[in-house]
Amino acid sequence: MTNRLTITRPDDWHLHLRDGAMLAAVLPESARHFARALVMPNLVPPVVTGADARAYRERILAALPEGTGFTPLMTLYLTETTDPGDVAAAAAEELIAAVKLYPAGATTNSDSGVRDFDRVRGVLERMAEIGLPLCVHGEVTDEDVDIFDREAVFIERVLEPLRRATPGLRVVMEHVTTREGIEYVRSAPRDLAATLTTHHLVINRNHILAGGIRPHYYCLPVAKRESHRLALCEAATSGDPRFFLGTDSAPHADARKLAPCGCAGCFTAPDTMAILAHVFEEEGALDRLEGFTSRHGAAFYGLPENSERITLEKGEPVPAGGMLETGEGPVTIFDPGFPLAWRVVE
């Protein structure tokens, strides 16, 4: 039995760091274990231009604890007025690593997202030319589509036509939550990949709704039925390089989660590596954890693997979850429903 595991330091390919007091509180939780993270641009107002990304990156670097070697990789929020020249310039100076597409109204702070895809064609074509990946929040927002079907319908109605219209565009389907999403990625050539979150490998929709409503398990895309969770675990542990970790750790103060209309998001950053070690061990795939957390994403983004390593050890299980105090109030840490035997020791 393996009780100790040393792997290349991981990267998080989908992370919400927020701003101000929340940024200061949550950033150390990612910087402790992760070398790099792809930082989501859905602030209010969103990070839209190269200049916005530069300013946000400065605020993140200023909030880093002394001596922490953590690199934020920035993204731009695609709007219908995004200037292809600005995107290309920001990519050329390696200020950004991707552009993020939110269908308007799909999730937290997505009002500035795209309604008419014809209006972003120029940007997408430029991105295909320069090889800059498009990260996609893959859900339709139509009121007549059931929330549990919105990812599958998005693939058919939006993603497939978009990819066909823009040959060569490199796309990451963010936080895939369905068997359909997994199958779509597998059926495509290598210019399509997907991130999987920590929490979607652990919870299904019963965790949110059965036996009482549990707002801390509510996120978008919403967790689906168990058969989908099993498909996600199979993909994550398969060793297929098209699947890699994007935690989608999305902190909200408890007051905003525990409300009549609560925010979507699970705050998974603090214990993600411990939870993933548990999941991969259960699947008999501990030897594939490193690919998922530390190699496949870097390869897709064309970045070198991290040279540092981290070590996880298995010991006495300790309770998971808990609370992080922030300047904006307490934030509940994701509880996977099992105690944590694995921990990052160095």
Which is the catalytic residue, given 240, 248, 254, 271?
A: 248
Considering only residues 251 to 310 of the shown chain, the ones binding Zn ion according to CB under 5 A are none
Q: Where are the alpha helices (DSSP H) in 74-169?
A: 84-92, 121-130, 150-154, 160-165
Decide if residue 151 touches Zn ion (CB under 5 A): no
For the sheet with 340-344, list strands across it. 4-8, 309-318, 340-344
Distance, in Å, from the CA atom of 112 to the CA atom of 77, rounded to the nearest integer, reads: 8
Among 10, 13, 16, 240, binds ligand NCD (CB under 6 A): 16
Decide if residue 107 touches ligand NCD (CB under 6 A): yes
Least distance between ligand NCD and beta carbon 312 (Å): 25
Contact indicator for 250, 264 with CB cutoff of 8 Å: yes
The site partner of 7 among ligand NCD, Zn ion, none (C-beta below 5 to 8 Å per kind) is none
Least distance between Zn ion and beta carbon 114 (Å): 16
To the query of whether residue 116 is one of the catalytic residues in this protein, the response is no
Decide if residue 328 touches Zn ion (CB under 5 A): no
Burial category of 330 from C-beta neighbours within 10 Å (exposed 0-12, middle 13-18, buried 19 and up):
middle
Tell me whether residue 10 or residue 113 sits nearer to ligand NCD (CB atom).
113
Among 25, 220, 269, 331, binds ligand NCD (CB under 6 A): 220
Decide if residue 248 touches Zn ion (CB under 5 A): yes
Tell me whether residue 15 or residue 127 sits nearer to ligand NCD (CB atom).
15
Q: Residue 137 corresponds to which tokens in the numbers above?
A: 């929040």
Contact indicator for 273, 10 with CB cutoff of 8 Å: yes
Decide if residue 248 touches ligand NCD (CB under 6 A): yes
The site partner of 108 among ligand NCD, Zn ion, none (C-beta below 5 to 8 Å per kind) is ligand NCD
Q: What amino acid is encoded at 213 in this protein?
A: I
Least distance between ligand NCD and beta carbon 343 (Å): 25
Least distance between ligand NCD and beta carbon 250 (Å): 4
Site map 22..61 versus ligand NCD, x via CB under 6 A: --------------------x-------------------
Least distance between ligand NCD and beta carbon 180 (Å): 18
Decide if residue 139 touches Zn ion (CB under 5 A): no
Considering only residues 108 to 147 of the shown chain, the ones binding ligand NCD according to CB under 6 A are 108, 137
Contact indicator for 197, 175 with CB cutoff of 8 Å: yes
Cβ atoms within 10 A of the Cβ of 307, count? Answer: 8
SS3 call for 56 = helix
Q: Which residues of 217-249 are buried (b: 16+ CB within 10 A; e: fewer)?
A: bbbbbbbbeeebbebbbebbbbebebbbbbbbb
Q: Which one, of 66, 76, 8, lies nearest residue 36 by Cα?
A: 8
Among 50, 103, 181, 265, binds ligand NCD (CB under 6 A): 265
Task: Write down how long the chain is.
Answer: 346
Decide if residue 104 touches ligand NCD (CB under 6 A): no
Least distance between ligand NCD and beta carbon 139 (Å): 8
Write the CA distances from 95 to 5, 30, 173, 253, 259, integer angstroms: 33, 20, 22, 30, 37
Q: Which residues pair with 8 in a beta bridge?
A: 309
Q: Which residues bind ligand NCD (CB under 6 A)?
A: 16, 42, 107-108, 137, 219-220, 248, 250, 264-265
User: What positions carry a catalytic annotation?
Assistant: 248
Q: Which residues bind Zn ion (CB under 5 A)?
A: 248
